[in-house]
Amino acid sequence: MNDTLNRLADLLEQRKSADPQSSYVAKLYAKGMDSILKKVGEEATETILAAKNNDKQHLIYETADLWFHTLVMLAQAGLKPQDVMDELARREGLSGIAEKASRLDKSEEQ
């Protein structure tokens, strides 16, 4: 799975220099983060509705759209899928309650 994410991330990075008239992703980049975030929100809503309706095939399709647009968002922010994978690895084996509490403790220190 990581290979697919990395290949897609590389392609998305290349699209930053593509002509917005010939590339959907380049057009999103040209419109800026607000447009990208709007797409992430739309895809999240569609994913939730597919899950609510228990439509597994539609859920797969919408989750793929959500992940795709999330990768575009990360690329626009200068991040890679590996950054998220590293964070997930850091959390592995931790209680979700303890992990969340540790983030709250760190924010109070700042």
Q: What is the pTM of this model?
A: 0.85
Strands (E), the chain: none
For 25-37, the pLDDT digits (tens) are 999 999 999 999 9
Q: Check residue 100 and give its pLDDT.
A: 79
Confidence label for 110 from pLDDT (cuts 50, 70 and 90) = low
Radius of gyration, CA atoms only, the chain: 16
Residue 74's pLDDT is what? 97
Read off the amino acid at residue 10: D
Q: Residue 103: is its pLDDT beyond 80?
A: no
Per the listing, tokens 């994410």 go with 5
